[in-house]
Every structure is written in structure tokens, then in C-alpha cells.
Structure 1
Amino acid sequence: MPELPEVEIARRQLARRVAGRRLDEVIVRDPQAIRGDWSTRPRDALPDGPARLAALVGAEAGEPMRHGKRLGWPFPPGGLLIHLGMSGAWVPGEEPPHARVGLRFGDAVWWFRDPRRFGALIPCPAARLADRLAAGLGPDALLAALPGPALAARFRTRAAIKVALMDQGRLAGLGNIHAAEALFRARIHPAIPANALSDDQWEALSRAIVDQLRDAIDAQQDGELVYLTEGGPNPFAVYGREGEPCPRCGTPIARIALGGRSTFYCPRCQPAP
């Protein structure tokens, strides 16, 4: 599932290869991918979605922006808000399986591919992109990284820290994978109540979040992204590695369920509260 690093990589690829080029054609294969808000449901499609996208033809693509897991892409005076959902990605070239929308720039077509159909393209005036992009979200976990005390102030809850980190209204960008990986880096058990963390743990977690996101971006930024759920390689220290030795101490990685999601951790490096 795309989290902040994967969305940032998509943003950088579009900025590098498409920004400044004229949009020549919009190809709609699935009108239900075009929605009026951040809905993940195809039935919430905009009735005039294809026409709204076609109105962007002739505009020059601006540089995409990102907040958390969302993208905003200006095509002044119009634009697009983009959520990749569970499986969305932008890929250039020949039409791939599960293509929903294609954008042609000269002889290059960029396809919005989304097998599970939770992703959305949302037409939006360019002047409103920034506000709608961040609406309802907490600060961006990388662009507005918080020091320990400020991070603690946003997580005054008895919820397990792993579950709280995935609350996009508190901090935008972390999902199931990178929350688990950041907690492993910080040596914090994922089930500890957020309001029980010490000042030192908040400082460690603040550093770990930024380091995890930066390292993930650096490791994946070249080439087409293939998500782990689609058969891509597993580059993570603990996620998806139940029973394998911890890369730090050799203890078998354990898995528990928190908030209905599988959570991976090292019982020795991340002792229980």
C-alpha cells in the first residue's frame, strides 16, 4: 500500500518527467476513478468526471505537491487531487493492466493504474489545491517533522502508539508499514499507550520517523514501484518478517494485531510495557 515514501517518489517522478509539458489528451478507461472528494468508493464517481478531466487538455502541467499520502497536481487554472488508495501508481508507456486514466503529453502517456480501485482523481481548481490537499490532516510527517515534545503533544491518547501513528489527523503520511518500521528503529513496543511514552522515547521516535521515511525514499526512488502486496521485494527490517531473525539482535520477529492490522516487532529490541 502506498504510504508517504511511495507517494513522494511518484511526485518526484512526475515533477522530473512531466512538469512543464502540455497536456494533449485525457484517456478515461474507468470513469468511476474520477470523484468529487477523497472517497475510496467507485460508486461516488463524479457524473461529469470525464468532462471535468477533458477540460484540463491544453494546460501546462505544474509541479506536483504532496501532503501525507495525497498529491495535488496543478494544470492551471485547473488541477487534480490524487489519492493512490491501496494499489494506485502512475506509470509511463504502454497501457498497463488495470489502467483507469491516461494523460498524454506529446508522445508519452502516463497511466493511473489501480487494481483495487480505492484510488481517486479529483478535479479541483489550481487555486484551491493546497488547501484541499491538507484538509483534515495533521502536519506532514516529513515536510513538517516534529521534535519530541511537539510530537508528544499531538498524541495525548491511550491508544496503542502504533495505532495512533496511523491516525492521519494527528500526523500525515505513516501507514501500517512505516509506523512499524519507525517503532523498531526507536526500540518502542507497538502496543504501548501513546500517552505512556517517556520524553526520551518521544525524542527517539521523532528521529526514527524522519530517518525511516528518508531512507525508504532513497532506497526506492529509481524505477517503477512494485508494491510488496504485488510481489515486490521486501526491503523492511521487521514488516512481513514474522519468525525471521531480527536484523539487530537475532530474536525471531513477532506479529500481533493492533487496530485490526498485522503489526511486526522484535520482542527483545522492543520490550513489552
Structure 2
Amino acid sequence: MPESPEVQALVEFLEERAVGRRVGEVDVLEFRTVKTRQTPPSTLAGMPITGAERHGKHVALAFSDDTTLVVSLGRHGWMRWREPGDEAPAVADAPPALALFVLDGGETIEVTDAGTWVSLGLHVVDDAIAVPAVAKLGPDPAGSAFSPNDFDVALGGRRKQIKAILQEQESLAGIGNAYSDEILHTAKVSPVVHASVLDADARERLYAATVGTVRGAIDARRGIPIHELKAAKVAAMRVHGRAGETCPVCGDTIRDFSFASTTAQYCPTCQTGGSVL
């Protein structure tokens, strides 16, 4: 699942390479991706790209004439950059392209989806906020204005598992399954504890871990080619995806726990007082 550090690196790549370029041909190969039927992506042909922004896990490309393409990456979506003459993606077993945006220099932005069902969405709107999922986003821990008060409001006194809240885009924008595991491990908090029972010290640790993990990952991903970002993310994980391996902090065995519709990797010694979930 794309999360804010990798999406931010993607946006910065597009800002450097695509802004100032004009879109020539637009080819949508999977029409289920089109969410604005009155203004399909084909209406962008001939228009210059004037800006690139991230909204949570969404990419927004601004065009002239107050038009914005919002790419909702969903669970398995991503974007590829193809130079003129490139015949194949830069990585093996690359996901299929569902839409193509050919630029005036012959480069192509490919919008891809690796899932067995289409989670990707393409919206052509006047402003990114017109996309409901963007309008509902909570505060973004990557932003300089994100404060402890924003975090406290997101957690509130809710009787809901903290891992679920961290991934809830309406509460905190940009965090998914992987970074929520990393945040909770850093903060030494169980993934299944409810926000309502966290004391002040645990909340402070969680706030610091959330900001530090997200912002640190954004810094670490800058400059990495976009086709290598997924591998870089996987390599950087301390507990997520590491079940059966040794905790780098205490030496205990990292465990896997499934609940609701998600999974968590955690360290019993660091996070649950030695209890195995």
C-alpha cells in the first residue's frame, strides 16, 4: 500500500520531471479508474502541467485553466516514468499500466495497479478538495504545522484500537499498515490497545514516534528512483513484514497478529509486556 513517504518522493519526482511539460496523448486502458465521467482524463490532452502536490496518499497534478488530476492510489496503485524508446518497465513483474499520459517530449507517465481488483481512481476536478476522499483527510503528520493537539484530537478518548486510528485517513493522513507498525514499535505501544486507555506518557511517545517515523522516512526516500521506492521501503522496516525475525531493539522474536481486516507485526517484549497476541 502506498504511504505518505513514498508518495511524497513520487510527487517530488513528478514536480522535477513533469511540471512545465504539456500532455499530448492520453490513453485510459481501464475505464473503471475514471471517477469523473463528465470530465474524463482525455480532457487533459494539450494542457501543460503546472504543479504537483500530495494529499495524504493521493497525487494531485495541477494543469492550466484551474484543472487538477487527482490520482487516488488506493491499495495497490502507483505511477511509472518511461523515457522515449523504453520498451519495458525498469523492474521485473511490474504491475500493468491502467492509464498513460504521454508528454510532449515523448516521456510517458504510466498509472498502474497491482491488485486483483481496481483500487486506483482518476479524478479530473477544479480543485483536489472536490474529491471526497481528499476533502475528508485528517491532519498530516508530515506537515510542519502538525501539532500535539492535532494528534490528541485524532486519538480523542476513543474506544478503538490505536493501530486502526493511525491508519484511518479521516483521523491522520498518509499512514498505512507498514508505517503504523513501525510507529507503534518505536513508541513501545501495543497495536490492539484502545486510545481511551493511553496515559499522557504513551500519547507523547506516540506523537513523537509518528512525526519522527513519517518525516524521517520522507527524508530517506528523497532522490531514490521511483521504481525503487517500494524496495527501499521494505528494506527500511524494523518490524513490519519481519515476523519470525529478531527485534533490532531487544532481541525478542517479532510476531504476527491478524485482526479485523488487517495484520500487525510487533515485538512482545517492546510492546505488549511479553504477552503474545
Establish whether TM, by shorter chain, passes 0.5. yes
Aligned partners of 2:221 and 2:229 also within 8 Å: no
**Corresponding residue number in structure 2 for 1:110:** 109
Superposition map of 1:98-247 within 5 A = 98-105=96-103, 106-116=105-115, 117-125=118-126, 128-130=127-129, 132=131, 134-143=134-143, 146-155=146-155, 156-221=157-222, 222-225=224-227, 233-247=234-248
CA deviations 1:205-264 (Å, max 9, x no partner) are: 111112111222233331134576x99843200001112110011010112123321101
Residues 39-58 of structure 1 mapped to structure 2, 5 A cutoff? 46=37, 52-58=40-46
Amino acid at match of 2:46: G
User: What displacement does 1:148 show?
Assistant: 3.3
In structure 2, distance between residues paired with 1:253 and 1:129: 40
Change (3 A) 1:219 1:180: same
Asked whether the equivalents of residues 149 and 203 of structure 1 are also in contact (C-alpha less than 8 Å), the reply is: no
SS at match of 2:178: helix
Secondary structure class of the residue paired with 1:263? strand
Using the alignment, how far apart are the partners of 1:239 and 1:215 within structure 2? Answer: 16
d(CA) in 2 for partners of 1:139, 1:198: 22
Instruction: State the SS of the aligned residue for 2:141.
Output: coil
Q: How many residues align?
A: 258
In structure 2, what is the Cα distance between the partners aligned to 1:153 and 1:129? 24
1:266 to 2:242 alignment: no
**1:81 paired residue number:** 70
Query: Is this contact kept in 2: 1:64–1:73, CA < 8 A?
Result: yes
The letter of the residue matching 1:102 is L
Q: What's the secondary structure of 2:236's corresponding residue? A: coil
Aligned-pair identity (%): 30
The whole-number CA distance in structure 2 between the counterparts of 1:178 and 1:3 is 8
Q: Which runs of 5+ in 2 are unaligned?
A: 90-94
Instruction: Give the TM-score of the pair, scaled to structure 1.
Output: 0.86
Equivalent position amino acid for 1:73 in 2: L
Quote the Cα distance in structure 2 between the aligned partners of 1:193 and 1:233.
27
Residues 139 and 172, structure 1, Cα contact 8 Å, conserved in 2: yes
Residues 56, 79 of structure 1: 8 Å contact kept: no
Say which is worse superposed, 204-213 or 236-245, in terms of deviation. 204-213
Cα pair 1:22 1:59 within 8 Å, conserved: yes
* 1:69 has 2:68 as partner: no
Aligned residue for 1:192, secondary structure, equals coil
| Stretch of structure 1 that moved more, 142-151 or 78-87 | 142-151
The offset of 1:153, in angstroms, is 2.5
Task: Give the structure-2-normalised TM-score.
Answer: 0.85
Q: Quote how far apart the aligned CAs of 1:91 are.
A: 0.9
Structure 1 spans left out of the alignment, 5+ residues: 37-45
Segment of structure 1 superposing worse, 254-263 or 243-252: 254-263
**Other structure's SS at 1:139 match:** coil
Partner of residue 41, structure 1? none
Give RMSD over aligned pairs: 2.3
Residue 146 to residue 64, structure 1, CA distance change in 2 (3 Å): same
Q: Distance in 1 between matches of 2:227 and 2:151?
A: 30
Partners of 1:108 and 1:130 lie apart in 2 by 28
Q: Secondary structure in 2 aligned to 1:59?
A: coil
Contact 1:145 1:210 in 2 (8 A): no
**Alpha carbons of structure 1 residues 3 and 231: separation in structure 2 relative to 1, 3 Å:** closer
Q: Secondary structure, in 3 states, of the residue corresponding to 1:104?
A: strand
Once residues 158 and 145 of structure 1 are traced to their aligned partners in structure 2, the CA distance between those partners, rounded to angstroms, is 27
Change (3 A) 1:201 1:176: same
- Pair 1:183–1:103, CA change in 2 (3 A): same
Q: Deviations over 1:89-132 (max 9, x none)?
A: 1111146551111111122111111122211111112xx22453
Residue 34 of structure 2 aligns with an amino acid whose one-letter code is I
